[in-house]
Amino acid sequence: MKKIMSLLTILLLLNACSTSNLQYQKDVTVEIGESLTKEIIQLESQEDITFDSFDNTKVGSYAITFEVEDKSYPLNVTVQDSTPPLINQKSEVTISQGSDLDFEAFFDISDNSGSYTITTTIDTSIPGTRNETLSVKDNSNNTASFPFSLTITEDEPVIIEQLKEFKVALNGTLDLTEFFTSTPKQYLEIIGDYDLSTAGHYPLQVGRLEVILTVDDGTLNSSYKITEPAILRNDRYILANKRYQLPADYVPDNLINIPANYNPTGQKVTQETWDAFYDMAQDAADEGYSLIIQSAYRSYQTQETIYNNYLKNDPQEVVDTYSARPGHSEHQLGTTIDVCQGSLCFGDFTNTPAQQWMSENAYRYGFILRYPQGKEGVHGYMYESWHYRYVGIEMATHFQSLNLTFDEYYQQFIK
């Protein structure tokens, strides 16, 4: 019995000595992403081993422990990255002259750290086929290189064609496709210094701004065209009076036919003028007034005929008090209308309930009385209770609080 006890004691002591004197590599190095094993620390024990967790996705040094048979042992682990990125080509590398080379469209690139930088830059301005090298570096400065053949094609330049006169309203929306076309169309854009709000103050000073029009097709083959767009003042703000004259060829861009039930002679006004008048006429009808338009847009030539016919009956100094000379008529703007109540027009419209309603409410729809009574010395014409001009609700509302003609308002707030 004593011999058995002695043998057990010896075995226990040997076992204790074997674990307390465990032989292993206390300082080890692993690659980024690599897990620890008994083989790495050179441990020959057959017992199960458990390592503390550490971040093996980041390069650095970690002091950890591992356990064997409920005993802990220290271990210093260094995580390194000595593996260069991997590069595989997916397809032939062919691009257009002057375009950017997107390497990842032609190559699969990966790195065990999950991060890399492409250090190669390519000059794509010269067409042809040549050998190049793709170089990639990871965060640990491991580099990889991949030779490849690069083909740069020479494309035909994009062509610009002008569709119509380049005329843009002041502060309007510039839609190049309305004036120009190109092949391919999606590359049409405008560059250069221009400002749609810097036109001249008067129609005779219509803005002419030199603009360089170009298309960018993603290569160096861009086409250029120099044009001079006419930047017009918005029709509703142009001043046409005895002093300032409209060009003989001035025609508003957005004229529409007035419906026959509002003008049986087939005259025209600008779209926004008609929209505003229609709303006003509908509300006036609810009050019992049938507003129609007796006269609207007149061309330079039409006004010239009207004026000359008046001269057959009255001397010019008299005609000038009730008719505008050609080029000086607001009717040429397409924003001015002569309003009637049914068959009551011109002087017959004056002092009617409909005329009174207009004087009190026209501004709500964007209209102003152009030649008010008591201001004949300013605007130069006889009082015309029927002559209204569309200027927009904001300006018309401002007008309502002032005792000014459009001529005076223009000098103070527009010019």
- Structural fold of domain 159-233: Immunoglobulin-like (2.60.40)
pLDDT of residue 16: 42
Of 4-13, 15-24, 144-153, 312-321, the least confident: 4-13
Report residue 312's pLDDT band, with 50, 70 and 90 as the boundaries.
Answer: very high
Q: Please report which helix (H) or strand (E) contains residue 301, including its range.
A: helix 300-311
Task: Output the average pLDDT for the chain.
Answer: 83
Beta pairing partners, 136: 118, 144
Number of Cβ within 10 Å of residue 261's Cβ equals 9
| Domain 24-80, CATH class in plain words | mainly beta
pLDDT at 254: 87
Q: What is the pLDDT of residue 319?
A: 94
Range of weakest confidence among 62-66, 251-255, 318-322, 333-337 = 251-255
The C-alpha angle with vertex 360 and arms to 359 and 364, in degrees rounded to 5, equals 105
pLDDT tens-digit profile of 75-118?
999 999 999 999 999 999 999 888 889 999 999 999 988 889 99
The predicted pLDDT at position 105 comes to 93
* Contacts for 412 with CB less than 8 Å, ≥ 6 apart: 404
pLDDT of 199 > 60? The answer is: no
Does residue 265 carry a pLDDT above 50? Answer: yes
CATH code reported for the domain at 237-414? 3.30.1380.10
Q: Say how far apart CA 235 and CA 174 lie, in whole Å.
A: 16
Burial of residue 131 (number of CB atoms within 10 Å: 0-12, 13-18, 19+): exposed
* pLDDT at residue 277 greater than cutoff 50: yes
For 112-146, how does the pLDDT look when each residue is reduced to its tens digit (9 = 90+)? 888 899 999 999 888 899 999 999 999 889 999 99
> Structure tokens of 96?
């257009």
Residue 12 has pLDDT above 70, yes or no: no
Residue 174 has pLDDT above 90, yes or no: no
For a pLDDT cut of 90, what percent of the chain falls above it? 55
The token pair that represents 343 in the structure block:
């068959």
The phi, psi pair for 123, rounded to 5°, reads -85, 115
Which ranges in the chain are annotated with CATH 2.60.40.10? 24-80, 86-153
Per-residue pLDDT reduced to its tens digit, 29-66: 999 889 999 999 998 877 889 999 999 988 999 999 99
**192 within 8 A of 202, measured Cβ to Cβ:** no
Residue 306 has pLDDT above 70, yes or no: yes
- Please state, in angstroms and rounded to a whole number, the distance separating the CA atoms of residues 246 and 328: 6
In our burial notation (b when 16+ CB lie closer than 10 A, e otherwise), range 262-277 reads bbeeebbbbebbbebb
* pLDDT score recorded for residue 368: 96
- Pairs from 208-213 (Cβ < 8 Å, separation ≥ 24): 211/166, 213/160, 213/176, 213/180
Average pLDDT over residues 353-366: 97
In Å, how far are 110, 112, 138, 141, 145 from 115, measured between CA atoms?
8, 8, 6, 11, 16
- Provide CB contacts within 8 A for 37, sequence distance 6+: none
Percent of the chain with pLDDT over 70: 77
- Between CA 337 and CA 367 the distance in angstroms is 10
Question: Could you tell me which residues come within 8 angstroms of residue 131 by beta carbon, excluding any fewer than 6 positions away?
Answer: 147, 148, 149, 150
> Is residue 122 within 8 Å of residue 101, measured between CB atoms?
yes
pLDDT at 357: 98
pLDDT score at 9: 42
Nearest to 330 by CA among 199, 201, 203, 206: 203
> Residue 15 corresponds to which tokens in the numbers above?
């076992």
Q: Is the pLDDT of residue 395 over 80?
A: yes
Domain with CATH 3.30.1380.10 in the chain: 237-414
How distant, in Å, are the alpha carbons of 252, 343, 344, 376 from that of 292?
22, 9, 10, 26
In angstroms, the CA 213 to CA 306 distance is 43
Calculate mean pLDDT across residues 237-253.
86
Superfamily per CATH, domain 86-153? Immunoglobulins (2.60.40.10)
C-alpha triplet 34, 40, 45: angle, nearest 5°: 135
CA–CA gap between residue 38 and residue 50 (Å, rounded): 10
Q: Kindly tell me if the per-residue pLDDT of 220 is higher than 70.
A: no
Q: What is the pTM of this model?
A: 0.49
For 201-208, what is the mean pLDDT?
37
CB-neighbour burial class of residue 408 (10 A; exposed 0-12, middle 13-18, buried 19+): middle
b/e per residue, 64-101, with b = 16+ CB within 10 A? eebebeeeebebebebebebbbebeeeeebebbbbeeb
pLDDT at residue 171 above 70?
no
235 pLDDT tier (thresholds 50, 70, 90): low
Compute CA 138 distance to the chain's CA centroid, rounded to the nearest angstrom: 38
